Amino acid sequence: MEKNQKLIQWVKEWETRCQPKSVHWCDGSEKENQELLDLMVQSGAAIKLNEEKRPNSYYFQSDPSDVARVENRTFICSEKEEDAGPTNNWCAPAEMKEILTGYFDGSMKGRTMYVIPFSMGPLGSEIAHIGIQITDSPYVVVNMRIMTRMGQQVLDILGDKDFVPCVHSLGAPLQEGQQDSKWPSAPIEDKYISHFPDTNEIWSYGSGYGGNALLGKKCFALRIASNMAHRQGWLAEHMLIMGITNPKGVKKYIAAAFPSACGKTNLAMLIPTIPGWKVETVGDDIAWMKFGDDGRLYAINPEAGFFGVAPFTSMETNPNAMLSCRANTIFTNTGLTPDNDIWWEGIGYDIPEGTITWTNEKYDAANRKPAAHPNARFTAPAYQCPAIDKDWENPKGVPISAILFGGRRPGTLPLIYQSFDWNHGVFMGSIAGSEVTAAAIGLKAGVRRDPFAMLPFCGYHMGDYFAHWVKTGVTAPDSSKLPKIFNVNWFRKGSDGKFLWPGYGDNIRALAWIFDRVEGTVDAVQTPIGFIPKKEDINIAGLDGIESKMDEILKVDANEWVAECDLIAENYGQFGDRLPKEMTEQLEKLKARLA
């Protein structure tokens, strides 16, 4: 530590500004972790869960104003406004720093300032990067210990090299003798999650929740890292990474990007329903990818834990996630049962009498308020996942053979289609999205585009981001080794409004076709939108009533796609002259094929 003068100076500057009562450099040890947890139990911030049911696990309730990422309080502060693009909130760096310096002045009074050294990715990996987070929240420290490689060994590797500086304060200074609240945070209008891509800095103020406060998560791993990747020629993506082994023992790795609520964690931890296939998890949320010496694209999971949405996770929908959080886990905003266990909607069994809700009231079915907040979370170590891949911490990463995009589309998109080439695959990623109903989300009904599932997370202009993907194809050391690109849609509905495809573990049937396409052992049907399977090449053995639906499941309706082209063109309009010409060409080619 002592040899990194830049780090020492930086910490001193923030100590002077925030005025904490003390400064603690985190070593990441078990002893330190237990002391912080004990401290939070004593203060009433945490409850220790039933040791027999949930060994070494803890429960927290947040303030009702601090329950999720807040997109409208999230800023990209690039020097030029146009570099942030139309999909981000922008503020000039000098202006934002002036605002926030006012907020940070004295913001840690009466609290401890924790200095957290953390590595995003396996220690010493050439794809990994190191950050240092300052925070006044012990909750953040214990979560960061699960979500990243954290502590003294990170400082040892850092030496005198550069790091990504991350500053976080709850924005709740304590006066002498003042009683602390259970979940200190600032009002919504005083919350700021700000990113400075030109200097790789993150300043977050006023929220203690999730990605607003665990700055290694979306802030570093995507918004800052996407800028670093753009400048340095690699990829930082909102993608799961999974290993798939076929019955012959051949193994391939797939990366997949889906918007939230499209089953990403379920897919990463899938348990196959057809014999002989095996799925293993490298990561459920983020992939950093670089080309290896052999010309292939290699991916690491920069995280060390799962920050999973709890509601509707069950032994039926995702047994591996349930087993991952059986011990050593932090639960936030679930229900709390009388015997100090957790409960949430969709857990698979009835709510025990006397359960306390996430707002600390006794659960009452009559008032229709859920026991768990819809965004209730579990923070669990990845190594506890029964399906964790043996190479999940390989510093070289794992070689990616295929990339999948997807979203929730009740119509138009078939179960699977494959791109004709790399740029066509980039086009598929650029038009990804989910259909929304106005009633459900309060948004205008229609397709909500979420290109590459990166809409809330891309730290620069989305048009430049598409161009970076195009360039990746051009500058690849060996274009024949680029991953094949596919789109999947588990959510197509029939005329009765019901899902046509069974989903969950049966998604292995679609993945098996993708696997065989990568292997070159199965043919496909060429359509205007891409290659789709012959229906006899999808293994539907043991699925009752699916055979009669396969035509509908794989249907490509030209009229629907002509309408889709109009929607794509409308969405592309916002990117102006930053939209790469390759994307416009792909849209024109699609229209020509449809005609």
pLDDT of amino acid 445:
65
Mind giving me the DSSP string for 218-237?
Answer: IIIIIIIHHHHHHHHT-EEE
28/156 Cα distance (integer angstroms) = 13
Task: Locate 94 and state its tokens.
Answer: 């000098």
Give tens-digit pLDDT for 549-591: 999 999 999 999 999 999 999 999 999 999 999 999 999 999 9
pLDDT at 300 over 90: yes
503: left (phi over 0), alpha (psi -120 to 50) or beta: left
Q: Determine contact, residues 257/239, Cβ cutoff 8 Å.
A: yes
Length of the chain: 595
CA angle 579, 583, 587 (to 5 degrees): 125
Residue entry with tokens 């809330």: 456
| Helix (H/G/I), strand (E/B), else coil: 349 | coil
pLDDT at 254 over 90: yes
The total of other beta-carbon atoms located within 10 Å of residue 361's CB is 11
Mind giving me the DSSP string for 450-499?
Answer: -GGG-TTT--S-HHHHHHHHHHHHHH-S-GGGSPEEEEE-TT-B-TTSSB
CATH of domain 5-47+69-233: 3.40.449.10
Average pLDDT score, the chain: 96
Query: DSSP state, 444?
Result: P
394/237 Cα distance (integer angstroms) = 18
The residue-averaged pLDDT of 11-32 equals 98
Q: For residue 469, give the amino acid letter.
A: W
> In which band, very low, low, confident or very high, does the pLDDT at 437 lie, cut at 50, 70 and 90?
low
Specify the CATH class of 305-384 in words: mainly beta
Q: Determine contact, residues 453/259, Cβ cutoff 8 Å.
A: yes
Mind giving me the DSSP string for 168-194?
Answer: EE-S----TTPPPPSS----GGG-EEE
Give tens-digit pLDDT for 500-535: 999 999 999 999 999 999 999 999 999 999 999 999
Percent of the chain with pLDDT over 70: 98
Task: Locate 60 and state its tokens.
Answer: 């927290």
pLDDT of amino acid 260:
79
248/294 Cα distance (integer angstroms) = 24
On the 0-12 / 13-18 / 19+ scale of CB atoms within 10 A, 497 is exposed
Report the candidate in 423, 425, 472, 457 with the shortest Cα–Cα distance to residue 230: 472
Architecture of domain 237-303+390-594: Alpha-Beta Complex (3.90)
Report the candidate in 27, 13, 20, 19 with the shortest Cα–Cα distance to residue 112: 20
> In which band, very low, low, confident or very high, does the pLDDT at 446 lie, cut at 50, 70 and 90?
confident
CA distances from 66 to 178, 184, 371 (A): 21, 10, 17
Range(s) of the chain covered by CATH 3.40.449.10: 5-47+69-233
Give tens-digit pLDDT for 58-68: 999 999 999 99
CA distances from 85 to 214, 414, 434 (A): 25, 31, 21
Range(s) of the chain covered by CATH 3.90.228.20: 237-303+390-594
Report the candidate in 203, 381, 228 with the shortest Cα–Cα distance to residue 301: 381
Range(s) of the chain covered by CATH 2.170.8.10: 305-384
Give tens-digit pLDDT for 122-178: 999 999 999 999 999 999 999 999 999 999 999 999 999 999 999 999 999 999 999
pTM score above 0.75: yes
Mind giving me the DSSP string for 515-532?
Answer: HHHHHT-S--EEETTEEE
> In which band, very low, low, confident or very high, does the pLDDT at 392 lie, cut at 50, 70 and 90?
very high
Active site residues: 262
Q: What residues contact residue 58 under an 8 Å CB cut-off, 6+ apart?
A: 37, 40, 41, 46, 47, 48, 49, 142, 329, 330, 331
pLDDT of amino acid 441:
45
pLDDT at 333 over 60: yes
